[in-house]
């Protein structure tokens, strides 16, 4: 069905994770169809050191606040006579959940006019599933969202109920800081991280199997998954049309992984398709994806750029239309 411009409302969603800070501006019509208007992205490394200290560093807070302030300036360009009021919903995830001083971050963002909600892992998982499942109506899905501090895995039927959701304190920055102390990571460091992930996540997949859940597809969202495609395709300039919906086989994933672990950080930053700011944590992200595929018993995943940001916007649109 075509997008209905006459009933559309415009929203902005901000997702502040452990590594990245992102904004999506999108229109939603009365039927719940969503159309992207603009995307913004910054690597801010908000979760730097949080796994060890439990505290957000002042400089990390400043980086994230500056990024959001820039986003607010961008947002002004998309206000029109029709869309004079664009609701902004900002949510923070793993790093902020873990930090004892998250209230300082909330206050700092309030000073630039943004009200932040620090959401629990279960809410993060549900929103990720809502966004990622838009393109696969009726399919039984595993959705995996690899973040910097946590990984969310959700089993459910697209367009219907979530059957089993879990947020794991396993993310690419957390794994890097906890396990990787050589450059590139040593085989024993990689093995220890993989063993820890398997032990932590295996019960979830065992429960899904015991409940008779068999996925038609595994969908992977967020920067780790999109980076696999960008490297595989050697995208010197990121191309959404080549990333969204791309299927990555286990062979493809392993080939990218081998390319990444073969070189130290400074050479890794030069790999075509890899954002240099993501280079310090990307190896851990690859290990997480490999582990999830192993535990899910699948040989490929589909990359989606519809993720938690879309889930946030769809939820906000639904709430406002219900209130009307």
Task: Identify whether residues 137 and 200 lie together within a single domain.
Answer: yes
Task: Identify whether residues 196 and 165 lie together within a single domain.
Answer: yes
The domain spanning residue 140 has which CATH number? 3.30.420.150
The pLDDT value given to residue 97: 85
Task: Identify whether residues 43 and 147 lie together within a single domain.
Answer: no
pTM (2 d.p.) = 0.87
Task: Identify whether residues 284 and 262 lie together within a single domain.
Answer: yes
Task: Identify whether residues 182 and 106 lie together within a single domain.
Answer: no
Task: Identify whether residues 155 and 287 lie together within a single domain.
Answer: yes
240 vs 148: CA distance, rounded Å: 22
The domain spanning residue 26 has which CATH number? 3.30.420.40
Element (H, E) at 247: strand 247-249
Task: Identify whether residues 283 and 160 lie together within a single domain.
Answer: yes
Task: Identify whether residues 45 and 178 lie together within a single domain.
Answer: no
Residue 130 near residue 141 (C-beta atoms within 8 A): no
Q: What is the DSSP string of 58-100?
A: HHHHHHHHHHHHHHHHHHHTT--STT----EEEEE-HHHHH-T
Range of the domain at 163: 131-304
Task: Identify whether residues 169 and 265 lie together within a single domain.
Answer: yes
Q: What is the pLDDT along the chain (324 residues), one digit of tens a residue?
A: 678 888 899 999 999 988 889 999 999 998 888 899 999 989 998 988 888 898 999 999 999 999 999 999 999 999 999 999 999 999 998 778 888 999 999 999 999 999 999 888 888 888 888 888 888 989 999 999 998 889 999 999 987 778 999 999 999 999 999 999 999 999 999 999 999 999 999 999 999 999 999 999 999 998 899 999 999 999 999 998 999 999 999 999 999 999 999 999 999 999 999 999 999 999 999 999 999 999 999 999 999 998 889 999 998 888 776 665
Look at residue 323 and tell me if it is in a domain.
no
Look at residue 185 and tell me if it is in a domain.
yes
Task: Identify whether residues 101 and 161 lie together within a single domain.
Answer: no
């Amino acid at each position: 069905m075509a997008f209905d411009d006459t009933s559309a409302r415009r929203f902005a969603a901000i997702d502040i994770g452990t590594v990245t800070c992102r904004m999506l501006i999108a229109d939603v019509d009365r039927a719940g169809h969503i159309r992207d208007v603009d995307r913004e992205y910054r690597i801010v490394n908000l979760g730097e050191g949080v796994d060890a200290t439990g505290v957000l560093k002042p400089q990390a807070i400043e980086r994230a606040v500056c990024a959001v302030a820039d986003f607010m300036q961008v947002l002004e360009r998309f206000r029109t006579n029709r869309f004079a009021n664009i609701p902004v919903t900002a949510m923070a995830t793993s790093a902020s959940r873990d930090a004892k001083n998250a209230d300082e971050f909330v206050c700092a963002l309030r000073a630039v006019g943004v009200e932040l909600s620090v959401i629990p892992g279960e809410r993060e998982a549900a929103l990720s599933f809502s966004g990622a499942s838009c393109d696969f109506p009726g399919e039984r899905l595993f959705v995996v969202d690899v973040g910097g501090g946590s990984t969310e895995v959700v089993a459910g039927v697209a367009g219907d109920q979530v059957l089993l959701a879990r947020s794991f304190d396993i993310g690419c920055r957390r794994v890097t800081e906890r396990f990787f102390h050589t450059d590139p990571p040593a085989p024993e460091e990689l093995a220890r991280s993989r063993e820890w992930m398997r032990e932590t996540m295996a019960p979830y997949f065992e429960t899904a199997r015991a409940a008779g859940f068999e996925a038609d597809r595994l969908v992977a969202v967020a920067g780790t998954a999109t980076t696999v495609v960008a490297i595989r395709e050697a995208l010197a300039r990121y191309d959404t049309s080549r990333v969204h919906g791309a299927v990555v086989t286990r062979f493809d994933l392993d080939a990218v992984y081998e390319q990444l672990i073969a070189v130290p950080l400074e050479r890794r930053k030069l790999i075509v398709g890899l954002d240099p700011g993501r280079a310090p944590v990307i190896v851990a992200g690859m290990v997480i994806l490999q582990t999830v595929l192993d535990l899910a018993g699948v040989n490929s995943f589909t990359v989606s750029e519809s993720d938690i940001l879309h889930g946030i916007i769809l939820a906000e649109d639904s709430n406002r239309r219900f209130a009307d």
